Amino acid sequence: MRLLDGKSLLVTGGTGSFGQRLVETVLGLARPERLVIYSRDELKQFEMAKRFPPDRFPSLRFFIGDVRDLSRLSRAMEGIDYVVHAAALKQVPTAEYNPFEAIKTNIIGAQNVIEAALDNRVRRVMALSTDKACNPINLYGATKLCSDKLFVAANSYAGRRDTRFGVVRYGNVLGSRGSILPLFLELRPTGRLPVTHPEMTRFWITLDQGVRFVMEALGRLDGGEILVPKIPSMRILDLARAIAPDCEIDYVGIRPGEKLHEKLISPDDARLTIEMPDFYVIRPQFAFWSGSNWTEGRGVDPDFEYASNTNTRWLGTVELRRLVERVMGVQLDPQEEAELAASGR
């Protein structure tokens, strides 16, 4: 976080779950000259400003704007050193029903971020991606794959500028707005929880882990890398049992555009992948890419893939339950946890 001392950071989608946690973390650990929240929802900005009042956080700025608007983005990036691009339309069913709206935000918006960053000579830009961008089968994943490709290729257009672009790709964020965890907590009193498929698995990461990984990546970026953290998997059914072990489970079927399991690295990317102690680096295919920041890494097996169902790290029901309590700030029945632990589930 110290690389932000005396510098300026802009966060697109800054009023979202990730953006708010990033801002909270940066303000607690660094002393930025300016921290700009760029988003299109004035109510969310108003509510966020109450959490971070100007008299206590004078570096904070709120900028109404949409990533679809290049001129507004360019104005917001004047004098900015670092950008974290978190703005996206990310609900899979919404993207399936409103495809071009997702394209305008997730693809055209990504290119606008790139253009504005180049024109304003921003030093580093880190874009947030998703496991759904790896071998995508839904429109959201396809738009994020396009976005990833744009940010990787943008390094070829920087010319003599010091601007560098990178991507961070990870799985589901525990407790983020619109995710399954708040839904399960909401439905718990009804005695019934909907689960798509008994074998469905997902990668899992907390907001704090995501924020710290993004900031580490921003500080180490060579330019053009896709960085993937080593994170645990969990079964959706285990999450339901962890939150509400006495609830009946309704199997509702996999929604349009959903996978049974997710991947963060496909076998096709294996030959470009470097393994670090806590994460992977997918190298860009640039002749000029030196990899000087990743010399301690080693290549992975040619047939390697990083998938949620074959992961070596798993979250069990008791560990999931404790994570839910910590992340969501709720207190679940201790007797239920004791029964889960005794059952070995």
- Annotated catalytic residues are 132
Listed in sequence order, the residues at least 6 apart from 309 whose beta carbon sits closer than 8 Å to its beta carbon are 199, 201, 233, 260, 261
Contact 92, 99 (CB under 8 A): no
Hey, what are 237's tokens? 């059914």
Dihedral angle computed from the Cα positions of residues 86, 92, 94 and 97, in that order, rounded to the nearest 10 degrees: 130
**Where are the strands (E) in the chain, listed by range?**
8-12, 34-39, 60-64, 82-85, 124-128, 164-168, 172-173, 192-195, 201-205, 226-229, 233-235, 248-251, 263-265, 273-275, 279-282, 298-299, 306-307
Task: Please give the Cα distance from 165 to 289 (Å, whole number).
Answer: 12
C-alpha distances out from residue 98 to 70, 140, 142, 343, Å: 22, 10, 14, 44
Helices (H) and strands (E) in the chain — how many of each?
12, 17
C-alpha distances out from residue 31 to 5, 6, 14, 218, 314, Å: 5, 6, 18, 16, 37
